[in-house]
Chains A and B, each alone.
Chain A
Amino acid sequence: GQQVQQSPASLVLQEGENAELQCNFSSTATQLQWFYQSPGGSLVSLLSNPSGTKHTGRLTSTTVTKERRSSLHISSSQTTDSGTYLCAINTGKLTFGDGTVLTVKP
C-alpha cells in the first residue's frame, strides 16, 4: 500500500481562512518534510519536522511520530499560498505523498 497518504486531496478557501493539511505514513520515518509546489511546477522545501511542533511564518507543522501522522497548518491564507503541498518521509530515501491542492480565492 501507499506509504504516505495526504488529505484532503484538494481544498478551496477564501483569503484569510486557515488551512489544515494532513499526512499519514505507514513506515517508520526518520524525518518528515513538507514541500510546496507552485502552480508553475517549482518545488521548495517548507519545513523539516520529525516530531513535535515547528513554526515558520504562517506555517505550523505538528508531527506525532508514534501515531505516524503530521499536519501542516496555514494561518490567514493568501492567494499566493495556492499550489500543491507535498508531504515526504525519509526512510533512507524520500517517499512523497500525492499532495493536497490548495486554492485560495480572493
Chain B
Amino acid sequence: EAAVTQSPRNKVTVTGGNVTLSCRQTNSHNYMYWYRQDTGHGLRLIHYSYGAGNLQIGDVPDGYKATRTTQEDFFLLLELASPSQTSLYFCASSGTGGSQNTLYFGAGTRLSVL
C-alpha cells in the first residue's frame, strides 16, 4: 500500500501568517497533488506536479505556491494566509497521470486561519 504522509495534521495561524504544509510519499510515484476540501464540496485541485522541479497549476491556485523539491517531497506554501484558506488539505500521489492510475491520499491537514 502506498504511503503518503502529511504534516502537520493540524495548524492554526493568523491572517497574514506564513504557512507551509508538507507531504512526503515513499513509493517512487511521479505525480503528486494538493487538494483542498471545504464543507459541502468535493476536493478541489490547487497544484500538482509530475516530477521534481515540476509544477502545474490546478483549478484553485490563487493564494498558494507549491514546490516539488524531490520526487518524494511536495510542499504547499501560503505566504499571506487569509481566513478563506481555512480548509482541510489533502496531498495525494500516483504512479502516472494516465487514466489507469490510482490516487493514494494522505491523512489530511486541517488548517485554521484566524
Q: B102 to A42, Cβ gap below 8 A? A: no
If A41-B107, A41-B108, A42-B105 touch, whether A96 touches B43 (CB-CB below 8 Å) is yes
Contact of B107 among A42, A88, A93, A99 (CB under 8 A): A42
Q: B45 to A86, Cβ gap below 8 A? A: no
Q: How many A-B residue pairs have CB under 8 A?
A: 52
* Nearest Cβ on chain B to A51's Cβ, whole angstroms: 11
Contact of A86 among B33, B43, B92, B108 (CB under 8 A): B43
**A 88-106 contacts with B by CB, 8 A:** 88, 90, 92-99
B44 within 8 A of A: yes
Closest to A4 in B: B42
Q: How far is the CA of A75 from the CA of B108 in the complex (A)?
A: 29
Query: What is the size, in residues, of chain B's interface with A at 8 Å between Cβ atoms?
Result: 25
Q: A99 to B42, Cβ gap below 8 A? A: yes
Against A, the Cβ 8 Å flags (1 = close, 0 = not) of B18-35 are: 000000000000000101
B58 within 8 A of A: yes
A27 within 8 A of B: no
Q: How far is the CA of A64 from the CA of B90 in the complex (A)?
A: 29
Q: A93 to B99, Cβ gap below 8 A? A: no
User: How many of chain A's residues touch chain B, expressed as a range?
Assistant: 20 to 34
Closest to A31 in B: B99
List 19 additional contacts besides A6-B42, A41-B108, A88-B42; criterion CB under 8 Å: A30-B99, A31-B100, A33-B102, A35-B103, A41-B88, A42-B105, A42-B108, A44-B105, A45-B102, A45-B104, A48-B102, A92-B97, A93-B48, A93-B56, A93-B58, A93-B97, A96-B35, A98-B40, A99-B42
Against A, the Cβ 8 Å flags (1 = close, 0 = not) of B103-114 are: 111011000000
Q: B44 to A50, Cβ gap below 8 A? A: no
Contact of B42 among A33, A90, A92, A97 (CB under 8 A): A97
